[in-house]
Amino acid sequence: MKKPAASRTCDAPGEPARLEVMPSRKLMRPGERFQFRALVMDAEGCALPTRPAWSIAPGPLASAATVDATGALSVGADAGEGNLGLVASVAGKGVTVSIEVTSPDRYDALLATSGLNEAGESDEAASVTIATGTIGGRTTAGEDLGRQRKNLFVAIVGGVAACLGFAGLILLRRGRRRTGGDLDGPASTGSAFGERGGAGAEEAPASAGARLAEAPVQPASPPRGKICPTCGALYPGEAMFCGKDGTQLVLVN
């Protein structure tokens, strides 16, 4: 009889990833009891101490059989012939093994044609992969989702930072261009003004000197004196009144 996949000892086993039940088929007679074997493993094949939950699948013989917490199935002595389903489940994922109940009279003939071994068992195990619906699967899915959100947040922040840096670089370049233009403008204007002003300053005195040289020199007129109309005394031009009689002076013609 083939046994479940060999497990290896692991120091830090992971979450449940696979469930195997041996055998996958069993031929039984009424009144018999049989111990099914289950193995729960992680993704690396390490055996876990997790025990599956056992139950009888609904069907015509469901009320004629019982199963305990270890997977031991008991068929009632008064059970009729038919098929019975036994379910082993871990974290919501289950696998069903098939039990065929037959009378003692027909047992040997049915065993010979069933393809089972001498013990009435199949050599294969019934197995199921425990997917993301399990506790471990939800944990892994949650970690993956958290990692994706973190990567998305980092990408968004990086994109915003890059945009801000690019905008700042553009503004900095524009500011430098404006500053350079302001500095160049007054300097050029001042230079041009200086050139024009210098030329004008040099030309202005020359033109004024030329005009003065061309103007005819006229002799200065002698200062005019004043006379008192009463006594006839003469006075300089700046005098206003006669010193003798106080009469207002007049200009001498």
Tell me the C-alpha distance between 115 and 127, whole Å. 19
Last residue of a domain, one of 202, 217, 237: 202
The pair phi, psi for residue 46, each rounded to 5°, is: -80, 135
> Is pLDDT larger for residue 51 or for residue 218?
51
Range of the domain at 155: 144-202
Q: What is the pTM of this model?
A: 0.49
pLDDT the model gives residue 219: 61
| Average confidence (pLDDT) over 178-200 | 51
Domain assignment present for 64 = yes
The fraction of the chain above a pLDDT of 70, given in percent, is 71
Tell me the C-alpha distance between 19 and 47, whole Å. 10
For 98-128, the pLDDT digits (tens) are 999 999 999 999 999 999 999 999 999 999 9
Tell me the C-alpha distance between 125 and 2, whole Å. 8
pLDDT the model gives residue 200: 47
> Is pLDDT larger for residue 186 or for residue 58?
58
Tell me the C-alpha distance between 19 and 39, whole Å. 6
Domain assignment present for 237 = no
pLDDT tier, 210 (very low <50, low <70, confident <90, very high otherwise) = low
Domain assignment present for 221 = no
Tell me the C-alpha distance between 73 and 67, whole Å. 4
Q: Lowest mean pLDDT: which of 8-17, 97-106, 217-226?
A: 217-226
Q: Do 193 and 153 share a structural domain?
A: yes
For 63-87, the pLDDT digits (tens) are 999 999 999 999 999 999 999 999 9
pLDDT the model gives residue 244: 83
Domains: count for the chain: 2
Domain assignment present for 195 = yes
Strands 234-235, 226-227: pairing is antiparallel
Q: Do 118 and 48 share a structural domain?
A: yes
